[in-house]
Structures are given as structure tokens and as C-alpha cells.
Amino acid sequence: MNLESVLSLLGGLALFLYGMQMMSSGLESAAGNRMKRILERLTANRFLGVAVGAGITAVIQSSSATTVMVVGFVNSGMMTLQQAVWIIMGANIGTTITGQLIALDVGAMAPLFAFVGVTMVVFLKRAAFHHYGQIIAGLGVLFLGMEMMSTAMLPLRESQAFIDLMTRFSNPVLGILAGTIFTAIIQSSSASVGILQALASSGLIGLSSAVYVLFGQNIGTCITAVLASIGTSRNAKRTTIIHLLFNIIGTTIFTVLCMTTPLTAFVEGFTPDKPAAQIANMHTLFNIVTTLLLLPFGTQLARAVTRILPEKPSEKGGAMALQYIKPLGVLPESQMGNSAIVINGIRMELDRMAAMVRQNVDESFQAVLEARSARLPAVEKTEDYIDFLNREITKYISQVITYETNPQDSALISAYLKISGDLERIGDHALNICQYTQILEQQQLTFSENAIQEIREMRSTALQAMEVPGSFQPVTAQQLTAAAAAEQRIDDMTVSFRGHQLDRLQQGVCSGETCILYSEMLTDFERIGDHILNICRALSAPDPA
């Protein structure tokens, strides 16, 4: 095999992988955050879940990509571990479509696919057409790469050393190990199976040896999900174990069958003169049969991985940490489903942050009503956590926003950046209120009964207003009107209470010191209302700029 053939092989592999990346990127841009809604609706039962996993993987032609997406969804809380089981099973079926297309020699149409796709990207103005064109062009580039690899490997038929190497794979252990390692290196079972088909088409390896390499490729494809699970939640890690167990169980079953039954000869008999089709058929049979065997035991599989990887006591609380945001370094930039993962992760972190802010608002007003500073240490600790979340969310958004290609999702992520800042400011005002208790204690000050009643009303109104933004989904015009009304009520209460305060001061009911504290508290109360309205306005924004 000369240098030209080696370069052609590497170039073909590069085109193959780039074609899959183009398809994934185009689908991500076209689908965006809608992927979340699709999965929520179609994973209601195991059969639909398998169908969804197979369908998505058939489109993007990568079970690794689908599994990584599922790991991200589980990590961000968008999907349960049970739902992930069905999607992973379906993904293993869907990934076989690439091999079947190669076996059908669809590559002859590759230049046409590439031409149509590029034409759509270059000459059509609508963004949606660009995304679809990218998907079609990616498919064409993928098969052009496949053709280059197959052609480059033809000279290897004359290499006795290479032929001897291929025959060694008839040893099940060596074959499975070779398939696992090679697929783990290139992180694509579709690509490694395609290369195996190219070898078979060139007469370099027979099905009796190729089957064990093929089984190993199914295990090797799990490495991508394993890498993606680094730094994720316990459930996300369990998802990767399910993927690994599925393929290990399938490999064990089929290795025994191939060694003890004429299964290989049976599959060869369907397409005796088409080695690529034989590999494609065995790949499809492997994944469909394994899915059918494990489908009734999906729930037990989820329970098993929970026992394998139980919850750590240290992970149930304690140190400040992000729970739903996946580190950017682990999140592939062009992975399908990223938009939904990013948005849902940020939203759920904001939910956590908002819960802490609400808790501090409540605790601070209660502390003032008690006129004791005993609650202050806990409020300060929670405020530190709020500040931490704001910093980390802001840092994360500033990184991911540059990768977002969907205008609507980009606008929502930008809104979340503003919301994080407003939540942090509400937390600051809550801390201010709680800190007034130190002065009340030190100077032994007390509020009048009327002032205490007004403080109770402030607490109740502030907590009610904080419920208006809900779970940080885009708000309707009606919700925005309700938020504006809540903010106006806070403004009106502030004006009214200031008037009552002056009356009490003139009547000598309250001292100058308590009057100052009460005035400061009213300012904090009013600012809390302003920031709540800012949050709702940001959520009503989703206008792509």
C-alpha cells in the first residue's frame, strides 16, 4: 500500500466523519430546543422510546451521538433513567442504517446528494433551507468518503502481511478486542463498520472473522458516551453503563451463537456475493435481537445499574456545585440535542437559585419580625451559594452562547443571563433586610404593631410576586401583565407604608432609629419588585436580534 493510498484512506475517513458531523450540526440547528418536546411526547412507553431512538440515530447515523445526547438529557433532568433505556436500545438499531445504505451501494448517488445540499446552502436564503441542505450535503460527503476508503484499500489485497492480520481476527477474543479498540479511537461505530465493510468488499476479510470485530465495534462505540459522562450526575453515568451493558450482553450472546451454531453461514446465505451486505445484515440482526431480548427487562436493567453505581452520601448535599449544567469541555459543540440540554440545564439551575432566593426573602422578613439575628448565618451561607450560582451560570452562558445557532434559543439563553443577575440582586436585598436584625438586637429596637403588620404584608406580597415568573419558561402577554400588576402593587404599598411611617414618627409611636431601618427595608422591598418584573420582561423577550 503506497503513500497515495494511505493519504486517500485518511482523506476518505476524514470526509466520512465530517459528513456525519455536518448532518448532526444541521439537524441540531433545524430542531433546536424542539428535541426536548419530541422526546417528552414520544418516550411515554418502551416501544415508542425504542422507535424514537432508532429514528433519531437513523437520521444522524451515529448511535454514539444519540447516546451522548441522552446522557446530556439525563444529566440535565430532561429525561429519566428509565426513558434513557428505551432510547439507547433504539439507538443501537438505528445505527445499523449506515451499513445497510452502504450495502445497497447508495454511494453512487453521493455526488448528487452533495451537490443538492451545497446548492441549498449557497443559493437559498431561508435559514431553514440552509439547515436541511447541510443535512443532505453531509449525507453526500459521508458516502464520498466511504467510496474513497474502499478504493484506497484495494491494494491491500496483494499484501500477505495484511491478509495474515485479518485472518487472526477469527479468534473471538482478538477480533472483539480489535473492534473495540479501533472504534474507541475513532469514536464512531458507523465509521468503523463502514471500514469493515470496505475491507470485506475488497476481499480482505471474510464474515467468519469480521463478525467478532463487528461485535467489538458495538462495545467500542460506548467510549464516546463514557467520555461524555465525565463530570455529570450519577444518573447520567448510569446511562452510559446501560449502553455498555447492552452491547456486552449482546456480544456475549452472539459470540457464543457464532461459535456453536451455523449463524455466520446462515447470514452469508442471504447475500452470498455481497460481503458488505453480509456485515450489514449481521450488524442489524445483532442489535434487533439484543433489543428484543432485553426489552422486557428494561426496568430491571435500570435497577441493576443503580445498584452498580449507588448514590454517594457526599453527592446528596454539602459543597456548592452546579447540579444540572454540564461542563462545556464535556459537551460536544456540534452534538445534536445540545441546545435543549443547555437551555434545560440553565433553567433548572435558575430554578435552584430562585428557590434559594425565595427562602432567603422569607427567612429575612421572619428574622425582622422576630427582631433577632439568629437566622443571619444561614441567610449569609445561602447568599454565598446564590452568588456562586450566578457566577457559574454567567460564566457558562458566556461560553455556550457563541455556539448557539438557533436564533430563538440564543435569545432565550441571553434572557437567562439577565435573569441570573436579577435573582442575585434580589438575594442581596434579602440579605440587607436580614442584616437589619443586628442593629435591632444591638440597640434593642422594636417596631410598632402597625409596622409589624406591614412587614408581614411585605413578606407575603414579595413571596407571591416571586411565584409569577414560574419555571423560567417564556411568558405570555397575560403573565407579563400579571407581573407588572404585582410590581405596581409593591410600588403602591411602598408609597402607602412610607406615609404611615411618617404619621407614626409625628405621633411619636416610633423612634428615629427604627424609622431609618424601616425606610431602608421599604427600599429593599421595592427593589425586589423591580427585579421580579425585570425577570418577567426578559422571559417575554424571545425576539431573535
- Quote the CA–CA distance of 179 and 186 in Å, as a whole number: 11
Provide DSSP, 23-36. Answer: HHHHHHHHHTTHHH
Q: Is the pLDDT of residue 130 over 90?
A: no
Q: pLDDT: is 131 or 376 the higher one?
A: 376
Q: Is the pLDDT of residue 488 over 70?
A: yes
Domain boundaries, the chain: 3-307, 338-539
Confirm or reject CATH 3.40.50.1980 for domain 338-539, answering yes or no: no
Q: Is the pLDDT of residue 50 over 80?
A: yes
Average pLDDT of the chain to the nearest whole number = 81
Q: What letter would DSSP give residue 47?
A: H
How confident is residue 61, by pLDDT bands cut at 50, 70 and 90?
low
pLDDT, position 332: 46
Here the cell at position 44 is 411515554
Phi, psi of 373 (to 5 degrees): -95, 15
- Quote the CA–CA distance of 84 and 77 in Å, as a whole number: 11
Packing angle between helix 3-31 and helix 189-201, nearest 10 degrees?
Answer: 140
Structure confidence by residue, pLDDT tens digits, 297-322: 888 888 888 888 886 654 544 467 78
Handedness of CA 343, 344, 345, 348 (dihedral sign): positive
Structure confidence by residue, pLDDT tens digits, 422-477: 999 999 999 999 999 998 888 888 888 898 999 999 999 999 988 877 778 887 88
Opening angle at CA 185, ends 180 and 187, nearest 5: 85
pLDDT, position 362: 94
Q: Is the pLDDT of residue 333 over 50?
A: no
pLDDT, position 527: 94
Secondary structure (3-state) at 82: helix
Query: Cβ distance 183 to 220 under 8 Å?
Result: yes
Query: Cβ distance 119 to 133 under 8 Å?
Result: yes
Q: What percent of the chain is modeled with pLDDT above 70? A: 83
How confident is residue 386, by pLDDT bands cut at 50, 70 and 90?
very high
Q: What percent of the chain is modeled with pLDDT above 90? A: 23
* Cβ neighbours around 91 below 10 Å, total: 32
- Quote the CA–CA distance of 65 and 323 in Å, as a whole number: 23
Q: Determine the longest span between alpha carbons in the chain, in angstroms.
A: 108
How confident is residue 509, by pLDDT bands cut at 50, 70 and 90?
confident
Phi, psi of 355 (to 5 degrees): -65, -40
Please enumerate in sequence order all residues whose Cβ is within 8 A of that of 429, keeping only pairs 6 or more positions apart, or say none: 524, 525, 527, 528, 531
What torsion, rounded to 10 degrees, do the Cα atoms 26, 66, 16, 101 define?
Answer: -100
Give this prediction's pTM: 0.60
Q: What letter would DSSP give residue 328?
A: G
- Quote the CA–CA distance of 16 and 20 in Å, as a whole number: 7
Query: Cβ distance 423 to 535 under 8 Å?
Result: yes
Of 221, 61, 53, 39, nearest to 135 by C-alpha is 61
Count of all residues that appear for the chain in the document? 545
How confident is residue 36, by pLDDT bands cut at 50, 70 and 90?
low
Residue 66 CA: distances (Å) to CA of 7, 35, 407: 30, 12, 23
Structure confidence by residue, pLDDT tens digits, 181-217: 888 876 677 777 877 887 787 777 788 888 898 898 8
Of 127, 132, 119, 135, nearest to 58 by C-alpha is 135
Of 188, 192, 305, nearest to 248 by C-alpha is 305
pLDDT, position 393: 92
Q: Is the pLDDT of residue 408 over 90?
A: no
Q: What letter would DSSP give residue 295?
A: G
First-residue to last-residue Cα distance in the chain: 54
Mean pLDDT of 292-298: 88
